[in-house]
Amino acid sequence: MAAGAVVVVLAAGLGAWAFQGPLAAKDRYCWGGWEQDSGPGILGDEAYSGDDAHSRTSKEVSPTPGKPTGSCTLAVHSSLVFSDGDKSVQDTTVTVKYGRAPKDAETRLSWLNGYLGDGAMPLPDGLPGAVAGARGLLVLPKRCDTRDGRPSTVTLDARERSEPADVLPQKTDLGGSRAVTELLVTAANKGMEKAGCAPAEPLSVTAPVLTLPEKNESFYSDPACRIKGLDLDLDEAREREASYQVGAVTKDLQSCSVRIGRTDVEFLDALMVAHPRIDALLKDAMGDRAPARGWRGKGVLASDHQVVRARCAGRPTTFLMLGAPAYQARGHFAAFTDAVTQRLGCDVVAPAGTGGERG
């Protein structure tokens, strides 16, 4: 009798355990690298802004050793119906891509600036890349380079759509730069595993993500980003609508972005890259000669982009500017390179008289 009671109790306990779901598998996304409820908010219930309907779906193409390119997309949908019958909808989409950077040099410059400029900060622990609130880039180890010697990368981009627009914010929020870093590095590790080039030890992040040195400055005044000599001399109308963001200021990365108008039209982006693995993405984008007489290094001074690569503080360093008006481009670019080379303690890149004053 007692033994039978014990059997019944055990059976009931096992049934309850199974019913409550400890053995139920968690959903996994992005080549199996992301697990439901594993940390970043986009993977948990906090990603849902409405309680009436919600879903999390994904689609993916895994990289393979024979074809080391892939993508994964995570889509989160939620909706809320108000007492008056109105309905709000929020859709957040996170896309990760594994592969190589754009082949065309000019396209690649703009693509890279999109991940490194305008408020992005370097990845912690010396990892080659950068993150912001809704995007990230990681350059993979050399063992994952393409057959033609170009580095492979993993990128992350998030987008958000809300209806109606005045009910839910349009700004995409994945939980901050730390959450983006976790998503990016985890996806990169799984992507390298699928592509057959994973290192013996997975990439990891232990240090905190750096924060921006300054908030976006909406009351514009020269010099832009407090960079000596970077005087844009905007007319009054544009100056009233202009803002600038002081980005990273480290030995590996420095950025400055200037935007015009409520829609943040790109006016100027300046970037310095010195991390060897990131700089390797730009190695073949410089041409084979100095950009102009008197300039040090190799590069191009075009109407809509200026780029030069030279040794600075003992290592190859790339200076880039996008969007500056053609008639001002060389002066702005020279002023930026002057400020950076002075900060890093290396020889100037621009010839005398083309940039700001040198002290």
The answer to whether 134 and 95 are in contact (CB under 8 A) is no
Inter-residue contact 308 to 319 (CB < 8 Å): yes
The tally of CA atoms less than 13 A away on the side-chain side of residue 248 is 25
Comparing 82-91, 160-169, 319-328, the range with the smallest average pLDDT is 160-169
At residue 50, the pLDDT reads 58
- Reported as a pLDDT band with limits 50, 70 and 90, residue 358 is very low
pLDDT tens profile 193-233: 999 999 999 999 999 999 998 888 888 889 999 999 999 88
Phi, psi of 311 (to 5 degrees): -75, 135
End-to-end CA distance of the chain: 96
For residue 165, give the H/E element and its range: none
CA angle 306/311/315 to nearest 5° reads 120
Torsion sign across C-alpha atoms 65, 68, 69, 75: positive
Q: What is the pTM of this model?
A: 0.85
Within 13 Å, how many C-alpha atoms sit on residue 55's CB side?
Answer: 4
pLDDT-derived band at 1 (thresholds 50, 70, 90) equals very low
Task: Summarize pLDDT for 153-173 with one digit per residue, the tens.
Answer: 999 999 887 666 554 445 677
What distance in Å separates the CA atoms of residue 125 and residue 202, rounded to the nearest whole number? 13
**Cβ pair 203, 127 in contact under 8 A:** yes
pLDDT in tens, 241-254: 899 999 999 999 99
CB of 297 closer than 8 Å to CB of 306: no
User: Which of 199, 204, 216 has the alpha carbon at shortest distance from 132?
Assistant: 216
Structure tokens at 293: 């007489």
Do the strands 28-29 and 34-35 form a parallel or antiparallel pair, or are they unpaired?
antiparallel
pLDDT at 262: 65
Buried b vs exposed e over 317-338: b needs ≥16 C-beta within 10 Å?
bbbbbbbbeeeebbbbbbbbbb
